[in-house]
Structure 1
Amino acid sequence: MSKVITRTVQAQLITRPPATRSLTPALRYDTADPLAVSLVFPAEISLDGEEVAWAFSRDLLAAGLRGPAGEGDVHVCPCGQRRTVVELHAGEGVAVLEFPSAELWAFLRATYDLVPAGAEGALLDLEEGFAALLRGV
């Protein structure tokens, strides 16, 4: 049975500097997918009124707290000592969010308490993963 951590975090959506909008998305970690974390925007703060979740590598979050990281749709970068910027790239544009680094570190430490770094493979069900990929083929 998987275990899930969900933490609501404070964020600032950077719209057009210096304008910002306060948001409270959630960070989610599920041991059923031990390599990933999700940034979840509840329906009331998403553009289309539906919950929106961005899943990305837990390693990307860890790397981005230390220095610029990310090559795809999600980029994470420290911004001074106390803030971290997360960029979400989509067809509609780019959302730039700023988080208190301490909140991201606390969440990350909680995920490592559940699944230490390097131990993720023990939780992966490769047979089920392959079966899911091949369904309907």
Structure 2
Amino acid sequence: MSTVIEQSVQARMVASAPQMETLPAVLSYDRRDPFAVRMVFPAPATLEGTEVSWEFARELLAAGLDTPAGVGDVRVRPFGYDRTVLEFHAAEGIAMVHVRTAEVRRFLRRAQGLVPAGDEFRFLDLDGSLTELLGGS
């Protein structure tokens, strides 16, 4: 059984222009890091021309589908009937993207199948993390 789920999504960058640019993005979930999800934007889709990856709580993503969630670098909120807005806050500015809520729900169902919510602690490698923290001792 695979320990990683990846799902391509179409994200629309919110800009001051009336048309939103569609960006390819990938949502991923790794059972070895059970509390986190990652959203990756490929190099051609970014201003810097390098891949950009944001890691944030799976719980935040799930909560933001129904009500505004997050107060830090990543914020998630519903938008209209079928969209979810993800805001990524960095020193350079704020990037806001719309994704289809149905795609996010599908991704979260797949992650839930891999690691049920509330069971994340069962998949933590505390010994490995402690060894890494202590410099391999």
Alignment of 1:101-120 (within 5 A): 101-120=101-120
Q: Which residue of 2 aligns with 1:69?
A: 69
AA at the equivalent of 2:56: F
* Matched AA of 1:22: T
Cα deviation, 1:98-136, whole Å, max 9, x if unaligned, reads 111000000000000111111111110112222222329
What's 1:132 paired with?
132
Alignment correspondent of 1:28: 28
List aligned pairs for 1:35-46, cutoff 5 A.
35-46=35-46
TM-score where L is the length of structure 1: 0.93
Correspondence for 2:58: 58
**1:20 to partner: Cα distance:** 1.3
Instruction: Name the residue aligned to 2:122.
Output: 122
Q: What are structure 1's unaligned runs of at least 5 residues?
A: none
**Matched pairs, number:** 137
- Residue identity opposite 2:65 in structure 1: L
Secondary structure of the residue aligned to 2:33 is: coil
Over 3 Å off, 4+ runs: none
RMSD, aligned α-carbons? 1.7
Amino acid in the other structure paired with 1:26: V
Between the aligned partners of 2:110 and 2:20, the Cα distance in structure 1 is 29
Structure 2 residue matching 1:32: 3-state secondary structure: coil
Give the secondary structure class of the aligned counterpart of 1:9.
strand
Instruction: State the alpha-carbon separation in 2 of the partners of residues 130 and 72 from structure 1.
Output: 26
Task: State the percentage of identical aligned residues.
Answer: 50
CA contact 1:84–1:98 (8 Å) conserved in 2: yes
Shift of 1:25: 0.5
* Paired position in structure 2 for 1:14: 14
Tell me: CA distance 1:49–1:17, structure 2 relative to 1, closer, same or farther (3 Å). closer
